[in-house]
Structures are given as C-alpha cells and as structure tokens.
Amino acid sequence: MDQWLIDTIEEIQSSGDVSDIKTVLVKIREYFEFANVTYAVKLPQTFTQSSLLLISDYPVEWFKRYGEQGYINVDPVVSHCLNSQTPYEWQRFKEHSKKEVIDFVGEADEFKLRDGISVGMPSFDGKPGLISLASDHQLTLSHRQRHQINICLNTLQPFLHTRICQVTDTSQQSNISIHLTEREKTCLVWVAEGKTAHDIAAILVVSEATVVFHLKNAIQKLDVTNRSQAIARAVLLGLITPQFTGRSVPTYHF
C-alpha cells in the first residue's frame, strides 16, 4: 500500500487538468472497490458567493435531483466534512431523525448510493472540499479495513485538494487575464495592512502621488470601485498573498 500511495500522490501532482484528476479519483475508488467517487470543492466567487466544483462519476440524474431539492443544505456529509477532517461514515445517517435527512437518504438509495466514507478538507482560504467513496450496497468492512481507508483518504486529501485548487486557479486567472505589477501588488498589500497612501509612500520611499497612481491602476484593472474591493478581488484571484518582510517575533510557551 505504501508504494500505491506514493504512486498515487505522484499522479495527482502531475495532473494537468480536471480530467486527469478525475482519472486518479476513479483509480482510488477502484483500488478500494467502491462503486462511485466524487470530489467537491467550494470555490469563492466573491466574499459572499461561491460555486461548487464537482469531479465525479456519480449518476448525473442524482446531481440533478440533488440540486433541485437543495440537498446541499440537508446532506450530513457536507455539513460535517466542510468543517472537519474527521472521516464521516455514511452509516451515521441512521443517527438522524429529521424528515428532510431521512428523505435525502431514501432518494440516495434509489440511485444506489447506499453507503460510503467521506473525508473533508476545511480551508482558511474559503475553498473547503471533500472526497466521498460511495458503495451500491451496505458495507461489511472490518474495523481494520475502515481504518486503512480513512488513513489513505486523509493522506491523499491534501494533495488532491491542493492540485484541484491549483488547476482551477490557473484556469480562472487565464480566463480573467488580470496582470498587476509588483508595485501595484505591494501597495495593495500595505493597504490591507491598514496603511494610508502617506504611510506607504514613506515605506517604499516614493511620493504619495506615486502610491495613489499605483492604487488607481490596480482598482481599474480589477474592475472595482475602491481599495477595499480591490484587495478582496486580488485575494480571491490569488494575485496577492501575505508578505512577511519583517523579522518574525517568536512566542514562547513554558
């Protein structure tokens, strides 16, 4: 299994697009002898809206029904896995007594999604994700087998999540084609730090008018109306990230 994990991680990291990643996902579910697999990741569009990317071989009609019924707001897997890295075994569906959850489980059964294991990937950047292996029958796995599957999914999850986000970020940025100069990025980062144009001018040893010029250019390129929106959009697009230019101060606990 160790070599299989190594080979799978290498295949994930060399994936060129979403289609390649789906191929890897199918190999993972075949290895563990499950019927279906899906990877879901929430991708922020703004600071209040997001889209859901699904890489899956689940029945298409199930996803159509899932969307029509708003099951994303009912699904116990979603509520658990987008907030925890603890594996969720679908047998826990039996713990729920709410009618909407019972209806959801009943409909999933009609599409032969009867049991499974899911592992989530909470994320500080607003891109939480989860991987689910689904079975068309009730699982009769031993405790050891379940433990091995959970360990493997937890091991592969960060690599899958990172690669999927990289692929989607690259695609999103190429579609938008926004280019900020290094000076424009630096000025935005300092604004995010709470600095005024006057402060930034002193830090960069340039005139205040120069800083204002760079910020105006960034706002125009990002197609927003103010500095706050410019920072938000630049962060969402991955154009600016935290920059630690000063000396870090260690914190000690005894």
Terminal CA-to-CA distance of the chain, rounded, Å?
A: 40
Higher pLDDT, 87 or 177: 87
Same domain, 139 and 155: yes
Give yes or no: residues 189 and 140 share one domain. no
Q: Does a structural domain hold residue 232? A: yes
pLDDT in tens, 91-105: 999 888 899 999 999
Residues 16 and 122 in one domain: yes
50 part of a folded domain: yes
In terms of domains, do 117 and 200 share one?
no
CA distance 15 to 24: 8
Residue where one domain finishes, among candidates 175, 209, 227: 175
The pLDDT assigned to 254 comes to: 59
201/165 same-domain check: no
Residue 143 lies in a domain: yes
Domain boundary among 175, 191, 215: 175
- 40-54, 66-80, 122-136 — which is least confidently predicted? 40-54
Across the chain, mean pLDDT equals 89
- What's the pLDDT band for 252 if we cut at 50, 70, 90? low
Q: What is the mean pLDDT of residues 72-81?
A: 92
Give the tens place of pLDDT for each residue, 113-163.
999 999 998 876 678 899 999 999 999 999 999 999 999 999 999 999 999
pLDDT of residue 235: 87
In a domain, 242, yes or no: no
Q: What is the CATH number of the domain that holds 107?
A: 3.30.450.80
171 with 190, same domain?
Answer: no
Given 134, 155, 175, the domain boundary residue is 175
| Whether residue 196 is found in the same domain as residue 169 | no
Q: How many domains are there within the chain?
A: 2
Q: According to the model, what pLDDT value does residue 97 have? A: 87
Does one domain contain both 46 and 159? yes
- Residues facing 131 on adjacent strands: 39, 119
The answer, yes or no, to whether residue 24 has pLDDT greater than 70, is yes
| Range ranked top by mean pLDDT from 42-46, 142-146, 244-248 | 142-146
Q: What is the per-residue pLDDT for 192?
A: 93
Residue 34 lies in a domain: yes
Give the bridge partners for 89, in sequence order.
117
Q: Please, where are the H alpha helices in the chain?
A: 2-13, 18-31, 60-68, 76-81, 99-110, 143-176, 182-192, 197-204, 208-221, 227-236
- What's 226's domain CATH number? 1.10.10.10
* 22 falls within a domain: yes
Same domain, 74 and 188: no
Q: Which amino acid is at 101?
A: V
Average pLDDT over residues 168-180: 67
User: Is residue 87 in a domain?
Assistant: yes
pLDDT at position 45 over 80 = no
Q: Indicate if 137 and 188 belong to the same structural domain.
A: no
For residue 201, what pLDDT band results from cuts at 50, 70 and 90? very high
The predicted model gives 32-51 an average pLDDT of 86
Whether residues 140 and 58 share a domain: the answer is yes
Domain of residue 196 covers 181-236
My answer on whether 92 and 196 are in the same domain is no
Greater pLDDT, 121 or 37 = 37
- Beta-strand pair 129-135/50-56: unpaired
